[in-house]
Amino acid sequence: MNILEVLALEEETKKIIQESLDALYEKKEFLPDLTNGERTQAFKSLSAIISTPNNIHKSFLRVPREDGTIERIPAYRVQHNDSLGPYKGGIRFYEGVNEEEVVNLAFLMTLKNALHQVPFGGGKGGIVINPRDYSEKELNIVSRKYVRYFADVIGPDKDIPAPDMGSGEREMDWMMAEYKKIHHGKPYLGSFTGKSVVNGGSLGRREATGKGVYFTFRYLIHDYAVAHKEHLENSGNPFANTALEHAERPLKMAVQGFGNVGSVAALEAYQCRALNNQVIAVSDRNVTLYNEDGLDIPSLIAFTSSNRGDLPKDAAELSESGIKAEIRGRDELLTLPVDVLFLAALEDQIRKDNMENIQAKIIVEGANAPTTRDADAYLSDKGVIIIPDILANAGGVIVSYLEWLQGRETQYHEESEVFRLLLEKMQETMDTILPQYFGDPYPLRENCFIHAVQRLSTVLHKQGKLY
Ligand code: NAD
């Protein structure tokens, strides 16, 4: 089997789709009702559908700046697949946004929703700006223009955007208001998720991704590994050995990225006293902060919230914050001697040129695609457990689904109920994936992709689309 026609997806993604399809093709119990010829044809359709987004929308937003100049800012909305439900995915406000990246992220959303059985398809948006260079008034215009330019293709039953890097509830509130204005008299609460609570957002949405990221780590290394200790000990599986070596002992951790995802994951780790974690390093776009006895995460969060999201970046800011830490180079964090590395910043952070220097034996992907395929293969061969993005960072979309449902019913859950439903859903997925992970030779990412592709394929088959 070969994927002959692949548009826009990155080489790395193409490889992983190919591997998942090959593994599924070998599973004769998958699509058993088809003859050999029909099955081969179905797989050709499958690879074409998965490898290609349904739609790529691109516009140039015309934005008047406060200095009187006019800018045309590139903006994207990519809709990968909606067989499982309306397209769903964040809008990234970032100067490095490009079409290939948005397509790739939209594809990941389709698989993430398939893996966790969230009834949404995959989409993603991006606006090519550095939000720090724009005033609040200008960002308001950018957000509203985005909605106006893509007004016909988004909506509660079509495509539901959410925040991503560089955007948050403020932008979602503005966008929903613009959507409501354009589609006057139509339902609008489900048009965007990640809104502020007063505007129909869900309690717990802001913390959902970081909480979920930490939960996947804790569940795999502690709850699951301890409960299945005997089975894991006898499995001969290298990942089972790594899990057992790290279960039931204090662990040192580093967190890359201290925004929405990273700061919450760090706080969860810090507060999880039962497991005796120590977060000894955190980093952001400027620096790494290091303290071998453990950092005071609540004080760091308090500092960043009054410092435009940035950690203290020099001696003066550090002394003003009262936090005990050493300032190190930004990328030094990745190669520190820690047990666990949480990646919650950008893609391609662990790659060929630094993979040999990684000391962590457990890597948790809060960000999307922070580990390249080369690095994943190299580290997995050494028994490193990599909890991949589509498994670890789905908390946001799971609570977005709850927000969308609450908006439809105008009935709102307590925060504790939101977190209960979130962790229940993530545990359900982990319980489906982990027995196979500790029993076969595939790294966790491959396992998750195979599962997700199988779910998506089953739906496509039942919808009569694999002809
Ligand atoms: P954010 O904008 O709130 O925070 C990003 C953080 O990364 C900031 O602290 C920033 O200073 C830091 N950073 C930027 N460049 C860096 C670098 N080179 N080295 C170290 N740190 C750097 O973004 P976020 O919402 O926390 O998202 C982070 C990642 O998680 C993104 O990849 C995003 O796609 C992914 N993600 C986010 C959500 C969500 O709900 N927010 C859901 C799923 C996935």
Residue-wise pLDDT for 21-32, tens only, equals: 888 888 888 888
| CA-based max dimension of the chain | 71
Protein residues with CB under 6 Å of any ligand 1 atom: 163-166, 209, 256-262, 283-285, 309, 330, 344-346, 366-368, 393, 396
Report which protein residue has its CA nearest ligand 1's atom 35: 367
Q: Which amino acid is at 33?
A: D
> What sign for the dihedral angle of Cα 415, 419, 420, 421?
positive
CA 264 to CA 259: how far, in whole Å? 8
Centre of ligand 1 to C-alpha 282, Å, is 13
Report which protein residue has its CA nearest ligand 1's atom 32: 367
What pLDDT, on the 0 to 100 scale, is given for residue 9? 66
Report which protein residue has its CA nearest ligand 1's atom 36: 367
> What sign for the dihedral angle of Cα 310, 311, 313, 319?
positive
What pLDDT, on the 0 to 100 scale, is given for residue 7? 43
Tell me the catalytic residues. 124
End-to-end C-alpha distance for the chain, whole angstroms: 16
CA 170 to CA 168: how far, in whole Å? 6
Q: Residue 236, SS3?
A: coil
Structure tokens at 440: 């076969």
Q: Residue 360, SS3?
A: coil
C-alpha torsion 389→392→396→402, nearest 10: 130
What pLDDT, on the 0 to 100 scale, is given for residue 12? 73
Alpha-carbon distances of 296 from 268, 269, 291, 466, rounded to whole Å: 12, 11, 9, 54
Best probe residue, ligand 1, of 170, 209, 256, 387 (max atoms within 8 Å of C-beta): 209
Q: Which amino acid is at 151?
A: A
H/E run at residue 396:
helix 395-409
Beta bridge partners of 180: none
Query: Would you say 451 and 390 are in contact if contact means Cβ atoms under 8 Å apart?
Result: no
Under-70 pLDDT residues of the chain: 1-9, 274
Report which protein residue has its CA nearest ligand 1's atom 30: 367
Alpha-carbon distances of 70 from 62, 98, 132, 165, rounded to whole Å: 7, 21, 18, 25
Query: Would you say 218 and 272 are in contact if contact means Cβ atoms under 8 Å apart?
Result: yes
Best probe residue, ligand 1, of 105, 127, 164, 333 (max atoms within 8 Å of C-beta): 164
Radius of gyration of the chain (CA): 22
Q: What is the pLDDT of residues 348-401, one digit of tens each?
A: 999 999 999 999 999 999 999 999 989 999 999 999 999 999 999 999 999 999
Phi-psi map region of 383: left, alpha, beta (phi>0 left; psi -120 to 50 alpha) = left
Phi-psi map region of 308: left, alpha, beta (phi>0 left; psi -120 to 50 alpha) = left
CA 221 to CA 62: how far, in whole Å? 49
Strands of 94-173 (E only): list them. 122-127, 159-163
Q: Burial level of 381, CB count in 10 A (0-12/13-18/19+)?
A: exposed
CA 349 to CA 145: how far, in whole Å? 32
Centre of ligand 1 to C-alpha 347, Å, is 9
Q: Residue 309, SS3?
A: coil
Decide: pTM greater than 0.85. yes
Query: Would you say 349 and 285 are in contact if contact means Cβ atoms under 8 Å apart?
Result: no
Query: Would you say 114 and 452 are in contact if contact means Cβ atoms under 8 Å apart?
Result: yes
Q: Which residues contact residue 363 at a Cβ distance below 8 angstroms, ignoring those fewer than 6 apart?
A: 340, 341, 343, 350, 371, 379, 384, 385, 386, 387
The DSSP letter of residue 27 is -
